[in-house]
C-alpha cells in the first residue's frame, strides 16, 4: 500500500475537509499507518441504513451533523475515488497497471463524471510525487491510467480533468529523462486528438510550444535517443497545432511568438535530412525502417500547419521560414529553399498562394543589398513558386510583381556597372560581375515563369509595361548622357528586351491587334533599338514569337532553298479578319523595320536567320494577297540593297542578302503555287547554282562561308527580276501594278528629324508613299548604264513628289489636330447630311421599303428600336457623325 | 489551496555570444557538473531546478540558448516570456564583451520591459588570460543599470550565488507586484481557483 504523501496539507484537497474536523494531516497519517486500505472504509450509520459507498464529503457532512465524537471512527475513511485510484497501482511497478481495477475506476468515472476532476487531481498528485522519488514505473502506470480515462470520458466534463492532465504532462516534460519526456509527449498527442466541445479560455500552451520546440533541437549524445526526442518534439508541436488551430478562443497559435518557435524547429529537422541519413543506420533502425524519420515527420507537420493557415495567418507562418533561410544561409545552395517553398506552395490553400509570392518579393526587396547569390536564390525560389501557384501566383497586383522584378534588374545593372551597392559609401563587399549576371538571368527567367501563368490579356498588359520601361530617347525622357549612361542604357535595354522575349515566348494571341497595340509596336520598332546588333536581334525574336502562333518557327531556323516545302509540314490557318486589319494598320511599319534591319552592316548569321523566319512567318500567319505582293516587293528591294550597295556593305552582307532573297522567294513561290512564278524562281536558283553558288544560302550560311572576292561582274540571270515576277503573278490575278512598283520604305518623322528625337505622337495615316514618277527604276536592268545625272534626277524627282505628298498630309493632320472639335464635327456632319439627302432621294424612288431592313440597321447602330421604321425615314443618329 | 509543488515559477533565459559558457553555467547549477568539451548548443536547451529561498519553493525554468548567429531568430522568440535574462560574456574574450551593446538592443527589442537583466562575466578561473577588466565591466553594467557578477562554471565560483540572488530579486519583484500570480505566469493547465469554486462538492 502506498504511503501517505508528505505534506498533505500542502497538496491535498483542502476544501473537502470540513472546518469542524481536525486538521487532516494529523489524523490521516496517524490512522492510515495502522489500518490497511481495504479495511479503512468502515460501516457508517446514516440514519437507517449502512452505507458502503459514501463519498468523503457525504461522510464529513454527516459527521458535522452528529457529534464530534463520531469522527473518531471516521479517521480511517478514505474517499472512494482515492481508493479506486490507489488500487490501480500494483505492489510491484513491473506488473503494470492492474487492469481489473482500472476498469472499476473507469466505470466509476463514467458513472460519476463530476468526480473526474478529483480523480485527475489525485492522480497528478501521485505522479508528481513518484517523479520526485524516481519511481518511474508508477509514473508510467499513472500516465497510462490517465490516458485511458481521457479516452473513456471525452465528454463535456473533461474540461476540469484536463487541467490536472496537462499539469502532469508538463511535469513529465520538465524532467531530464528522455523517457519521461517522450511519455509525456505521447499522452499529449493522444489528448490533442480529442475534440473538446467546450472552450477553455484560461488554458495556455506557451510552455508546451517552448518545450516541444526545444526538443526538436535536441542535442542528446546518443543518435537514437536524439532522434526519438526530436520526433517527440515534432509530434508535440503537431499536437499543439491540432489542438489550438481551430479554436479561436484558445491561445492563438498563429501569433509570431509561437510561429517563431514552431516553424524554425520544423525546418531545422527538415533541413537535417541528409545528415541523419548519411550516418550508418544501426541494425535496430534498419528493422524499424517503416518508422518515419524526423525529416518526414517534420514535413508532414509543416504541411498540416500550412494547410490550416487562414488568410490572416500566412504572413506569420512564412516570415519565420524566410528568416530561417536567411540565418542559416540557405538561399545560396537553394535546393533546400526550393524544397521548402515547394512544400509551402503545395500545402497552402491555393487562394492564398499569392500572399506567399508577395512575401517573397518583399523579402527580395529587403535583400536588395545582399550578395547576388542570395538574391539569385530568392528569385529562383520565386520562379519555382510561381509555377506551382500557376494562376494564383500573381494575385491582384499584377504589375506590382513585375515592377519589383524589373526594379531588381535595374539595381543589379547599377551594381554591376558601379561595382558597389552604394555609390556614396565605399562598400566592403566586392561585387562579382558574373554573379550579378547570373542574378539577372534568374530574374529574367522568373519574369517569364510569372508571365506564363497569366491569361492572355494580362500578359499583353505586362508586355506593354515592360516595353514602357525600356529606356528610349524621346522628348519626355532625357536619356543619361555620357559613356557610362549609354552603357547603362544599352544593358537595361538588353535585359528588358530579354525579359520581354521570355514573356512573349509561348504567348498565343488570337488577336494581334489587341496584343500589339501601336504604342507597343512603335516603341519596339523604334530606331534606337536598331543600332545595336544584339538589340536588333532581340526585337526580331520578340516579333517572331508574337507572329508565330502555330509553332512553325523551328522549321525556319535555318535558311535554305528546299525544292519541296511540303516536307516542312507547315501548320497554316487562314488569316483571320482581325489579322488582316492588323496588317492593314501596321504592315508598313513591319516592312520598314525588316528593310532597315537588313541594311545594317553589323548583321551576322542569326540576324539573317531571324529575318528569314520573320518573312516566312508573316507569309504563313498573316498573309493575304496584298501582303504577299508587298513581301515580294520588299524582298526585291532588299536584293537591290545588295545590288546597288549604297552603304558599301562587305561582300558577306551582300551575299547574305542575296541568299536571303533566294530562300524567301523559293518559299513564297511554292506557297502561292503559281507555276510560272515557281518556274522563274527555279531558273534563277539554277543559274546561281552554276554561275554563282555564293549567292545561295547553302554556301553563305554555313560555318565557313564560301564567298567570292567581288560581286561586280554578275550576269543578270542570277537576279530575280521585278518585271518578270509581276508579269507571271499578274497572270494569276495578283495586282501586277502594285507588283511592278518598287518598294520604298515609309519614312517616319523620326527619321526625318534626327535619330535621337521623335515628335510626340505620329499619327499613322495609311497613305502609301509611292514614287510612281520614276519609271526608270521599273525598267532598269542591272546591265543598263546608269549615269550620275539620271540617278540624281530620279532622286530629286521622287523627293519632290514625296515632299508634296507629305505637305498635303501634314495639312490634313494639322487641321485635325488644331481645329476645334465642333468644326471637325460640323465638317463631317455636312458630309453626313449630304449622304442623308442622297439616301432619301434613292429611297423615294423605291415605292415600298424593303421588308425588313430596319432590323439590320438598328442592330448595326446599337439602337434598341423594336418597332419597324422604314429605312428612308430613319435619321442617322448624331453620334454616327463623329 | 494551491496544488503546486512550488510557490514561485520563474523563467530565466541565458544569452550571449557563442562559446562564453552559458551551457556550462546552467549545467553547473542544475546538475552540479562541469562538462568538459561541451559542444555548441543547438537552438535552445531546457533545464528545471527548484530551490528553496526563505521557506519558499522557487521553481526556475532555465532556457539556455545557442549563441550562434544562425539560431538567433528562434532564440529571440524565447526572450519574450522570460522573467529574467542572464547576459553572459567571456572575460578572456574582448569580442564577446564588445558585442554586449548589440545584445542589449536585442533585449530591448524582443524581451518584455519588466525583465531583469544580469550581466555575467564567466571564466574567471582563466584570470591570466583576462582581456576585460572587472572595472570596465562594472562601469558598463552600472551605466546600463544591470546587476553584475563574475563567475566560473568550472570552479563553481558564484554560480549558486548568481541564480539564488536572481531568484531573490525575482521574488521581491513579484511581491511588489500586487498581482503575484501574473508575474510568474501560470503553467498550462493551472486552472487554480476557477475549477474548484464552480464545482459542486456535495452530491
Answer yes or no: is pLDDT of A40 > 80: no
In this prediction, what percent of chain A has a pLDDT beyond 70? 71
Question: What's the predicted TM-score (pTM) here?
Answer: 0.70
Interface of A with B in 854-873 (CB under 8 A): none
Residue whose C-alpha cell reads 563574475 in the numeric block = B150
| Predicted local confidence at residue B98, as pLDDT | 92
Beta bridge partners of B89: B121
Nearest residue of B to residue A201, measured between CA atoms: B191
Q: Which of A44-48, A223-227, A531-535, A563-567 shows the lowest per-residue confidence on average (mean pLDDT)?
A: A44-48
Which residue of A58, A167, A257 is in closest CB contact with B189? A167
Which residue of A160, A217, A320 is in closest CB contact with B191? A160
| Predicted local confidence at residue A30, as pLDDT | 39
**Residue B33 sits at the chain A interface (C-beta within 8 Å):** no
Interface of A with B in 39-98 (CB under 8 A): 57-58, 61
**Residue A439 sits at the chain B interface (C-beta within 8 Å):** no
CB contacts, 8 Å: A323 with chain B: 73
Q: What is the rounded average pLDDT of the residues A781-807?
A: 64
**Residue A260 sits at the chain B interface (C-beta within 8 Å):** yes
**Residue B68 sits at the chain A interface (C-beta within 8 Å):** no
What is the grid cell recorded at A198?
467546450
B188 Rama class: left (phi>0) / alpha (psi -120 to 50) / beta: beta
Running along chain B, 203 residues long, what does each successive block of 10 average in pLDDT? 70 92 92 86 90 90 92 89 92 92 92 90 90 91 91 90 92 74 45 34 35
- Determine contact, residues B124/B153, Cβ cutoff 8 Å: no
Return the DSSP state at B154: T
- Determine contact, residues A11/A5, Cβ cutoff 8 Å: yes
A720 Rama class: left (phi>0) / alpha (psi -120 to 50) / beta: beta
Q: How far apart are the C-alpha atoms of A821 and A823, rounded to whole Å?
A: 5
Interchain proximity A162–B189, CB inside 8 Å: yes
Cβ neighbours of A879 (radius 10 Å): 9
Tell me if residue B88 falls in helix, strand or coil: strand
Q: Which of A191-205, A229-243, A657-671, A769-783 shows the lowest per-residue confidence on average (mean pLDDT)?
A: A769-783
Nearest residue of B to residue A208, measured between CA atoms: B188
Interface of A with B in 326-355 (CB under 8 A): 327-329
Q: What is the rounded average pLDDT of the residues A259-284?
A: 71
Closest alpha carbon to A241 in A209, A201, A202, A213: A209
CB contacts, 8 Å: A213 with chain B: 43-44, 74
Q: Which of A241-255, A603-617, A626-640, B109-123 shows the lowest per-residue confidence on average (mean pLDDT)?
A: A241-255
CB contacts, 8 Å: A216 with chain B: 43
pLDDT (tens digit per residue) in A20-38: 444 444 344 333 444 444 4
Answer yes or no: is pLDDT of A479 > 60: no
In a mutagenesis test of the B interface, which of A53, A217, A316, A328 is the best target, namely the one with the most B β-carbons within 10 Å? A217
Q: What is the rounded average pLDDT of the residues A787-807?
A: 68
| Predicted local confidence at residue A201, as pLDDT | 64
Interchain proximity B196–A15, CB inside 8 Å: yes
Closest-CA distance of chain A to residue B159, Å: 20
pLDDT (tens digit per residue) in A101-143: 998 888 888 888 788 888 888 888 888 888 888 888 888 888 8
| Predicted local confidence at residue A271, as pLDDT | 85
Cβ neighbours of A105 (radius 10 Å): 24
| Predicted local confidence at residue A229, as pLDDT | 92
Highest mean pLDDT, choosing among A27-41, A381-395, A605-619: A605-619
Interchain proximity B81–A323, CB inside 8 Å: no
| Predicted local confidence at residue B162, as pLDDT | 92
| Predicted local confidence at residue A76, as pLDDT | 57
Q: How far apart are the C-alpha atoms of A472 and A426, rounded to whole Å?
A: 31
| Predicted local confidence at residue B151, as pLDDT | 92
Answer yes or no: is pLDDT of A862 > 60: no
Q: Which of A22-26, A148-152, A619-623, A729-733 shows the lowest per-residue confidence on average (mean pLDDT)?
A: A22-26
| Predicted local confidence at residue A244, as pLDDT | 80
Q: Which domains does chain B have, with CATH numbers?
A: 6-160 (3.40.50.300)
CB contacts, 8 Å: B55 with chain A: none
Q: How far is CA A56 from CA A68, A115, A581, in A?
A: 16, 12, 98
Examine the predicted complex and report whether its ipTM is higher than 0.95: no
Beta bridge partners of A24: none
- Determine contact, residues A495/A444, Cβ cutoff 8 Å: yes
pLDDT (tens digit per residue) in A336-390: 999 999 999 999 988 888 889 889 999 999 988 888 889 999 999 998 888 887 7
Q: How far apart are the C-alpha atoms of B22 and B103, rounded to whole Å?
A: 14
Q: How far apart are the C-alpha atoms of A138 and A118, rounded to whole Å?
A: 19
Nearest residue of A to residue B45, measured between CA atoms: A214
| Predicted local confidence at residue A392, as pLDDT | 67
What are residue B13's phi and psi, to 5 degrees? -120, 130
Q: Which of A62-71, A465-474, A652-661, A755-764 shows the lowest per-residue confidence on average (mean pLDDT)?
A: A755-764
Closest-CA distance of chain B to residue A238, Å: 17
Answer yes or no: is pLDDT of A319 > 90: yes
Task: Pick A512 or A411 by higher pLDDT.
Answer: A411
Which residue of B1, B80, B199 is in closest CB contact with A160? B199
The mean pLDDT value of chain A amounts to 75
Interface of A with B in 185-214 (CB under 8 A): 202-208, 210-211, 213-214
Q: How far apart are the C-alpha atoms of A360 and A73, rounded to whole Å?
A: 75
**Residue A721 sits at the chain B interface (C-beta within 8 Å):** no
Beta bridge partners of B44: B65
Closest-CA distance of chain B to residue A357, Å: 22
Task: Pick A853 or A331 by higher pLDDT.
Answer: A331
Answer yes or no: is pLDDT of A281 > 80: no
| Predicted local confidence at residue A45, as pLDDT | 42
| Position A321 confidence tier, pLDDT thresholds 50, 70, 90 | very high
Nearest residue of A to residue B76, measured between CA atoms: A260
Q: Which residues contact A281 (CB under 8 A, 6 or more apart)?
A: none
Interface of A with B in 618-657 (CB under 8 A): none
Which residue of B39, B44, B201 is in closest CB contact with A15? B201
Q: How far apart are the C-alpha atoms of B97 and B16, rounded to whole Å?
A: 9
Interchain proximity A260–B71, CB inside 8 Å: no
What is the grid cell recorded at A419?
561595382
What are residue A455's phi and psi, to 5 degrees? -70, 160
| Predicted local confidence at residue A761, as pLDDT | 35
CB pairs under 8 A between A and B: 118
Nearest residue of A to residue B80, measured between CA atoms: A257
Closest-CA distance of chain B to residue A167, Å: 5
What is the grid cell recorded at B45?
536547451
**Residue B1 sits at the chain A interface (C-beta within 8 Å):** yes
Answer yes or no: is pLDDT of A279 > 80: no
DSSP string, A86-132: HHHS-SSGGG---HHHHHHHHHHHHH-GGGHHHHHHHHHHHHHHHHH
Q: How far apart are the C-alpha atoms of B128 and A590, rounded to whole Å?
A: 84
| Predicted local confidence at residue B202, as pLDDT | 37
Task: Pick A507 or B78 by higher pLDDT.
Answer: B78
| Predicted local confidence at residue A566, as pLDDT | 77
Closest-CA distance of chain B to residue A608, Å: 54
**Residue A133 sits at the chain B interface (C-beta within 8 Å):** no
Interchain proximity A327–B202, CB inside 8 Å: no
Closest-CA distance of chain B to residue A199, Å: 13
Q: How far apart are the C-alpha atoms of A151 and A144, rounded to whole Å?
A: 11
CB contacts, 8 Å: A210 with chain B: 44, 46, 63, 78, 81
Amino acid at each position: 500500500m502506498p504511503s501517505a504523501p508528505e505534506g498533505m496539507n500542502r497538496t491535498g484537497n483542502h476544501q473537502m475537509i470540513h472546518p469542524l474536523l481536525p486538521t487532516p494531516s494529523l489524523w490521516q497519517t496517524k490512522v492510515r499507518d495502522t489500518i490497511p486500505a481495504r479495511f479503512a472504509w468502515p460501516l457508517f450509520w446514516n440514519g437507517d441504513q449502512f452505507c458502503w459507498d459514501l463519498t468523503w464529503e457525504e461522510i464529513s457532512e454527516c459527521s458535522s451533523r452528529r457529534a464530534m465524537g463520531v469522527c473518531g471512527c471516521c479517521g480511517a475513511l478514505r474517499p472512494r475515488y482515492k481508493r479506486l485510484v490507489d488500487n490501480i497501482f500494483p505492489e510491484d511497478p513491473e506488473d503494470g497497471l492492474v487492469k481489473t481495477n482500472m476498469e472499476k475506476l473507469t466505470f466509476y468515472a463514467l458513472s460519476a463524471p463530476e468526480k473526474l476532476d478529483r480523480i485527475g487531481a489525485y492522480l497528478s498528485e501521485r505522479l508528481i510525487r513518484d517523479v520526485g522519488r524516481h519511481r518511474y514505473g508508477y509514473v508510467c502506470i499513472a500516465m497510462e491510467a490517465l490516458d485511458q480515462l481521457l479516452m473513456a470520458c471525452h465528454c463535456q466534463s473533461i474540461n476540469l480533468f484536463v487541467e490536472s492532465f496537462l499539469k502532469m504532462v508538463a511535469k513529465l516534460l520538465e524532467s531530464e529523462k528522455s523517457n519521461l519526456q517522450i511519455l509525456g509527449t505521447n499522452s499529449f498527442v493522444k489528448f490533442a486528438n480529442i475534440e473538446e466541445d467546450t472552450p477553455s479560455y484560461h488554458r495556455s500552451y506557451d510552455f508546451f510550444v517552448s518545450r516541444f520546440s526545444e526538443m526538436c533541437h535536441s542535442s542528446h549524445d546518443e543518435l537514437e535517443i536524439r532522434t526519438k526526442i526530436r520526433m517527440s518534439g515534432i509530434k508535440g508541436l503537431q499536437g499543439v497545432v491540432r489542438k489550438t488551430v481551430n479554436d479561436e478562443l484558445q491561445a492563438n497559435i498563429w501569433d509570431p511568438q509561437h510561429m517563431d518557435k514552431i516553424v524554425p524547429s520544423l525546418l531545422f529537422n527538415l533541413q537535417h535530412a541528409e545528415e541523419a541519413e548519411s550516418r550508418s543506420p544501426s541494425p535496430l533502425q534498419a528493422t524499424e525502417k517503416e518508422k518515419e524519420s524526423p525529416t518526414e515527420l517534420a514535413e508532414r507537420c509543416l504541411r498540416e500547419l500550412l494547410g490550416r493557415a487562414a488568410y490572416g495567418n500566412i504572413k506569420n507562418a512564412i516570415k519565420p521560414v524566410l528568416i530561417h533561410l536567411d540565418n542559416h544561409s540557405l538561399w545560396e545552395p537553394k535546393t533546400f529553399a526550393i524544397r521548402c517553398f515547394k512544400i509551402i506552395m503545395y500545402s497552402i490553400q491555393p487562394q492564398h498562394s499569392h500572399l506567399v509570392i508577395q512575401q517573397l518579393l518583399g523579402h527580395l526587396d529587403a535583400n536588395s543589398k545582399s550578395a547576388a547569390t542570395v538574391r539569385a536564390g530568392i528569385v529562383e525560389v520565386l520562379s519555382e513558386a510561381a509555377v506551382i501557384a500557376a494562376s494564383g501566383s500573381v494575385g491582384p497586383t499584377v504589375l506590382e510583381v513585375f515592377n519589383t522584378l524589373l526594379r531588381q534588374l535595374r539595381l543589379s545593372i547599377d551594381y554591376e556597372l558601379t561595382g558597389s551597392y552604394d555609390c556614396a559609401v565605399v562598400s566592403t563587399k566586392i561585387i562579382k560581375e558574373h554573379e550579378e549576371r547570373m542574378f539577372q538571368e534568374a530574374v529574367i527567367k522568373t519574369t517569364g515563369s510569372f508571365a506564363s501563368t497569366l491569361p492572355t490579356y494580362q500578359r499583353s498588359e505586362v508586355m506593354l509595361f515592360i516595353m514602357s520601361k525600356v529606356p528610349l530617347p524621346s522628348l519626355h525622357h532625357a536619356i543619361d548622357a555620357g559613356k557610362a549612361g549609354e552603357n547603362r542604357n544599352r544593358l537595361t535595354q538588353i535585359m528588358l528586351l530579354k525579359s520581354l522575349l521570355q514573356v512573349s515566348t509561348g504567348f498565343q494571341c488570337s488577336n494581334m491587334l489587341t496584343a500589339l497595340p501601336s504604342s507597343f509596336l512603335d516603341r519596339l520598332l523604334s530606331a534606337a533599338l536598331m543600332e545595336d546588333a544584339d538589340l536588333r536581334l532581340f526585337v526580331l525574336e520578340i516579333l517572331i514569337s508574337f507572329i508565330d502562333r502555330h509553332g512553325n518557327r523551328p522549321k525556319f531556323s535555318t535558311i535554305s532553298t528546299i525544292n519541296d516545302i511540303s516536307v516542312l509540314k507547315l501548320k497554316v490557318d487562314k488569316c483571320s479578319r482581325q489579322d488582316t486589319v492588323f496588317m492593314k494598320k501596321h504592315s508598313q511599319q513591319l516592312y520598314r523595320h525588316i528593310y532597315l534591319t537588313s541594311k545594317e552592316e553589323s548583321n551576322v548569321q542569326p540576324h539573317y536567320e531571324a529575318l528569314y523566319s520573320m518573312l516566312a512567318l508573316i507569309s504563313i500567319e498573316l498573309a493575304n494577297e496584298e501582303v504577299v505582293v508587298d513581301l515580294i516587293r520588299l524582298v526585291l528591294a532588299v536584293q537591290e540593297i545588295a545590288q546597288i550597295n549604297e552603304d558599301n556593305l562587305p561582300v558577306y552582307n551582300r551575299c547574305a542578302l542575296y541568299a536571303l532573297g533566294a530562300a524567301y522567294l523559293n518559299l513564297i513561290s511554292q506557297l502561292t503555287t503559281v507555276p510560272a512564278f515557281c518556274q522563274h524562281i527555279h531558273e534563277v536558283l539554277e543559274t546561281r547554282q552554276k554561275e554563282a553558288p555564293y549567292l545561295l544560302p547553302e554556301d553563305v550560311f554555313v560555318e565557313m562561308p564560301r564567298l567570292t572576292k567581288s560581286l561586280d561582274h554578275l550576269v543578270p540571270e542570277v537576279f530575280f527580276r521585278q518585271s518578270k515576277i509581276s508579269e507571271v503573278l499578274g497572270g494569276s490575278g495578283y495586282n501586277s501594278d502594285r507588283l511592278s512598283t518598287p518598294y520604298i520604305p515609309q519614312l517616319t518623322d523620326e527619321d526625318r528629324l534626327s535619330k535621337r528625337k521623335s515628335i510626340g505622337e505620329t499619327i499613322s495615316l495609311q497613305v502609301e508613299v509611292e514614287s510612281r514618277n520614276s519609271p526608270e527604276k521599273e525598267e532598269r536592268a542591272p546591265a543598263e548604264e546608269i549615269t550620275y545625272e539620271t540617278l540624281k534626277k530620279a532622286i530629286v524627282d521622287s523627293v519632290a513628289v514625296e515632299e508634296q505628298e507629305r505637305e498635303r498630309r501634314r495639312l490634313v493632320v494639322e487641321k485635325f489636330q488644331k481645329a476645334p472639335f465642333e468644326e471637325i464635327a460640323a465638317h463631317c456632319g455636312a458630309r453626313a447630311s449630304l449622304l442623308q439627302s442622297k439616301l432619301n432621294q434613292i429611297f423615294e424612288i423605291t415605292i415600298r421599303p424593303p421588308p425588313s431592313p430596319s432590323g439590320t440597321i438598328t442592330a448595326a447602330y446599337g439602337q434598341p428600336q423594336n418597332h419597324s421604321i422604314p429605312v428612308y425615314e430613319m435619321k442617322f443618329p448624331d453620334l454616327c457623325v463623329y | 489551496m494551491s496544488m503546486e509543488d512550488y510557490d514561485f515559477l520563474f523563467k530565466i533565459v541565458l544569452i550571449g555570444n557563442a562559446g562564453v559558457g552559458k551551457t556550462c553555467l546552467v549545467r553547473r547549477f542544475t546538475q552540479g557538473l562541469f562538462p568538459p568539451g561541451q559542444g555548441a548548443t543547438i537552438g535552445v536547451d531546457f533545464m528545471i531546478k527548484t530551490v528553496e529561498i526563505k521557506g519558499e519553493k522557487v521553481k526556475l525554468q532555465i532556457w539556455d540558448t545557442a549563441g550562434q548567429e544562425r539560431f538567433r531568430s528562434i532564440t529571440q522568440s524565447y526572450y519574450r516570456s522570460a522573467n529574467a535574462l542572464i547576459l553572459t560574456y567571456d572575460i578572456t574574450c574582448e569580442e564577446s564583451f564588445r558585442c554586449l551593446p548589440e545584445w542589449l538592443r536585442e533585449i530591448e527589442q524582443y524581451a518584455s520591459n519588466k525583465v531583469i537583466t544580469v550581466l555575467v562575466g564567466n571564466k574567471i578561473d582563466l584570470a591570466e588570460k583576462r582581456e576585460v577588466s572587472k572595472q570596465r565591466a562594472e562601469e558598463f553594467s552600472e551605466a546600463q543599470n544591470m546587476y553584475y557578477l563574475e563567475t566560473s562554471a568550472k570552479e563553481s565560483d558564484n554560480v549558486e550565488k548568481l541564480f539564488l540572488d536572481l531568484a531573490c530579486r525575482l521574488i521581491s519583484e513579484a511581491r511588489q507586484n500586487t498581482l503575484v500570480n501574473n508575474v510568474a505566469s501560470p503553467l498550462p493547465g493551472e486552472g487554480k481557483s476557477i475549477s474548484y469554486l464552480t464545482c459542486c462538492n456535495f452530491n
